[in-house]
Structure 1
Amino acid sequence: MVQVTFEIKQQPASVIAQLPGETIVLAPLWLRERCQDAVSLDVTTQQRLFNPHNLPDGITLVEAEAKGVDQAWLSFSDGYAGLYDLTEFRADFDPLDGLPTPISWKSNIDTQLIYIDFNRLTDFDYRLEAFSKFLTYGVVVIQYVPTEAESVLDVGKIFGQVRETNFGKYFEVYSRPNSNDLAYRSIHLDPHTDNPYRDPMPGIQLLHCLINETSGGLSTLVDSLAVAEQLKLEDPEGFELLANVPVRYRHVDNDVELIERRPIIMTDALGRMTGVSYSPRLDYLPLLNEHDMAIFHRARRRMGELFVDPAFERRFKLEKGELQMFNNTRVLHGRTSFDTNEGRRHLQGCYMDMDGPKGIYKAMKRSLKAQ
């Protein structure tokens, strides 16, 4: 979180935020909207009891007086006056909203950073650490998960809410002919994001290994943040096209046809890269002039090369009782081919939204602070 302190000035009345290398005079309207008394703000829900959209134009701060550490009495031109806890403002200066800072990784990542023990998730501190690992690295591998059918749903409930799709509440991953997705065959699958044709895309995927008797079928994971950093260094022009030109994705099944358009490189409302929408099995080149098409294709091809580069792609055998949970748009997953004659390889999977673990993590941190 950005370090911020607040200064109260009486003449002229003002509240000033001091940040490293920056000073911000907080606008009177901004302050007025954030009044904290019980008449204006419900104590339990922290929801407003008034409509700030109806505040008058040109509102001014007429009085500002410090009241102890990080508190101030503020009076405004519309007649409102109240006591403010200035520490409540700090969240406005945190672009991560209290979440851990994402750390990109390559194939040589220390497994201790992402492996966790299912049996220890009942412990509050360990569970909080597990959430922190997932939000930091975009992936965790959970060991010693019971191998009974639908256990993947039990793990999902720990981290948030399972999201049902046209594939059901959970889906079975084993080789079967004429399946409605290539994931349900024994062929090699390059790194990809799931369901880029869906709005919104699943934020999280869980894959739980019930049995794996094959020597092939290795799981692959790659952090798109690390790959994008490299691509931007090599080809900034191509990077910009991938981040700004929408691509069409399509999925066809007997009872549904799903189509969505979005750029391959995904950014949030603040312009920060959050991941990718990448699936060569499902995407279509956008309509571009010949010059831009060449640059776009060059960058897309290079991104695909980096995704399977041993420096970035981590390969490992997902063992019986292990479950990989990953940010679907940040950490791409894939699989090497396998021989069904060697034995069975059966995984169960499900999808979740990212706001689940984010929200639970912040609530746990708030609980810890209250203690």
Structure 2
Amino acid sequence: MLHKPLSAFSYAASASFSSSTAIDRPRTTMISANDFELADATVTVATANGRQVLPALWLRERTLDEAARDATTGQRFFNPHELPADLSLTDVAAKADGFTATFSDGFTSDFRFADLALGIDGDASPVERRSWLAEEGPGEIHDWQRLEASAAETRRCLGQFLERGFVILRNTPTERNSILSVARHFGFVRETNFGSYFEVYSRPVSNDLAYRPVPLAPHTDNPYRDPVPGIQLLHCLVNETTGGQSTLVDSLSVCERMRKEDPDGYRLLTEIPVGFRFRDPDTHLYDRHPMIETDHDGCPTGIHYSPRLDETPLLDAETMVAFHRARQRLGQLLGDARFELRFTLKPGELMMFDNNRVLHGRTGYDPSEGMRHLQGCYIDRDAPESLYRMLSATKTERTEAA
């Protein structure tokens, strides 16, 4: 396992992640104007899956005509489900950046290739996710003060976050509650029963094992909530102990390994919902999720994993044994040194990670050695991607969206 302080790893922006691999999943190639073809009242486009005709109903739904859509909000004045099912194109005339289409009901609208490309690529993340192994280290450590002062630095930091599922900052303020200003730089803070932020230090009487000095195996936070908190931040204010190392595990790497090694066990973990429960004197939360989340192609997208809290559903004896073995193997892989990155957060350092993708934990520590005090909070999962898209937009695109 890696037990290095962050200072032992390279901070270079050009660090090479030789073991990183793109997630094995179909992905739509970004569409350009050259991919469109107009002929015989038909519009076709070349996609990763071959050439495809754009149906009249699909086009009509995306009209930006001022008679059909509000220019300020972008919201339609009509309900697309009320369009005739046999709607067709009667004419298509080329323009410099697109075409004019005439529909069988007499409606005419201009379309830009760039707008239609966005509709085709709309589900593609702006940054391709890449799985990683512990040997690659934490990557570049970003300077908080530079992020505060530069939109370009923020965008670069977010690019790394969206790719790897986590990022580490240094030179953050160490005053109490300063985590909130860092969190609000990236998104909106989500308040829970723990408050807008929570304290992580040893307390003999507490409502969570995170507040004890015991080791914490890799886990995701709050799987008992609906929705589960998306992004977590943990901010080191004081660390005077020799233990208490932070750990991170990329569930995408682990789940891909599980999928190849034990397809049947993997399938069970993606299909059988597991209960997660939290109780204290003031709260009783419960929800169910499959341990492994997948996309429509069966590829892993995230994980819900907290062995301190989960409740296996009642299954028949044969399925119970098979599920147990699959869960057991998943736990073994999550604890495998090849997947578990370890490092020591120092005062002023903060890690931000996707709570639905990257598991976190820590080694135990002796509180008699000194104080170990972190603060944590959550923001919505879609916030960093939204900010990245905005910072990546051209000046023209931002003006048009205003």
TM-score by length of 2: 0.88
Q: Distance in 2 between matches of 1:251 and 1:208?
A: 24
State yes or no: 1:120 paired with 2:146: yes
Q: For structure 1, which runs of at least 5 residues remain unmatched after alignment?
A: none
Which residue is equivalent to 1:9?
A: 39
What does 1:159-238 correspond to in 2, within 5 Å? 159-238=186-265
Q: Distance in 2 between matches of 1:110 and 1:282?
A: 29
Partner of 1:45: helix, strand, or coil?
A: coil
Shift in Å at residue 269 of structure 1? 6.1
Q: CA offsets per residue over residues 99-158 of structure 1, 9 Å max, x none?
A: 201100010124334x21101102111110011111111100111100000111011000
Report the AA paired with residue 146 of structure 2: R
Q: 2:114 aligns with which of 79, 82, 87?
A: 87
Partner of 1:346: helix, strand, or coil?
A: strand
Which residue is equivalent to 2:55?
A: 27
Shift in Å at residue 43 of structure 1? 2.5
Q: Distance in 1 between matches of 2:228 and 2:369?
A: 34
- Contact persistence 1:2–1:93 (CA under 8 A): no
- Contact persistence 2:138–2:167 (CA under 8 A): no
Q: Distance in 2 between matches of 1:135 and 1:288?
A: 37
Report the AA paired with residue 87 of structure 1: A
After the TM superposition, which segments of 4 or more aligned residues of structure 1 sit over 3 Å from their partners? Answer: 95-98, 110-113, 268-272, 367-371
- Contact persistence 2:236–2:347 (CA under 8 A): yes
Which residue is equivalent to 1:152?
A: 179
Partner of 2:135: helix, strand, or coil?
A: coil
Q: Distance in 1 between matches of 2:388 and 2:322?
A: 41
Q: Distance in 1 between matches of 2:62 and 2:264?
A: 42
Q: For structure 2, which runs of at least 5 residues remain unmatched after alignment?
A: 1-27
Shift in Å at residue 304 of structure 1? 0.9
Report the AA paired with residue 48 of structure 1: R
Shift in Å at residue 67 of structure 1? 1.6
Q: CA offsets per residue over residues 158-198 of structure 1, 9 Å max, x none?
A: 00000000000100000001200000000010000000000
Shift in Å at residue 42 of structure 1? 2.3
Partner of 1:261: helix, strand, or coil?
A: strand
Which residue is equivalent to 2:271?
A: 244
Q: 1:44 aligns with which of 61, 69, 72?
A: 72
Q: 1:130 aligns with which of 157, 161, 186?
A: 157
Provide closer, same or farther for how the CA distance between residues 105 and 250 of structure 1 changes in structure 2, counting only shifts above 3 A: same
Q: Distance in 1 between matches of 2:182 and 2:107?
A: 49
Provide closer, same or farther for how the CA distance between residues 246 and 227 of structure 1 changes in structure 2, counting only shifts above 3 A: same
Report the AA paired with residue 133 of structure 1: Q
What does 1:329-348 correspond to in 2, within 5 Å? 329-348=356-375
Shift in Å at residue 367 of structure 1? 4.2
Q: What's the C-alpha RMSD, in Å, of the aligned pairs?
A: 1.6
Provide closer, same or farther for how the CA distance between residues 127 and 369 of structure 1 changes in structure 2, counting only shifts above 3 A: farther
Q: Distance in 1 between matches of 2:251 and 2:170?
A: 24
Q: CA offsets per residue over residues 280-318 of structure 1, 9 Å max, x none?
A: 000011222222222211111111111111110001111
Which residue is equivalent to 2:317?
A: 290
Count of residue pairs the alignment pairs up:
367
Shift in Å at residue 243 of structure 1? 0.5
The percentage of counterpart residues that share the same residue type is: 48
TM-score by length of 1: 0.95
What does 1:68-87 correspond to in 2, within 5 Å? 68=96, 70-87=97-114
Report the AA paired with residue 44 of structure 1: T
Q: CA offsets per residue over residues 51-77 of structure 1, 9 Å max, x none?
A: 222212211111112122x41110111
Shift in Å at residue 356 of structure 1? 1.1
Report the AA paired with residue 259 of structure 2: K
Shift in Å at residue 270 of structure 1? 6.5
Which residue is equivalent to 1:300?
A: 327
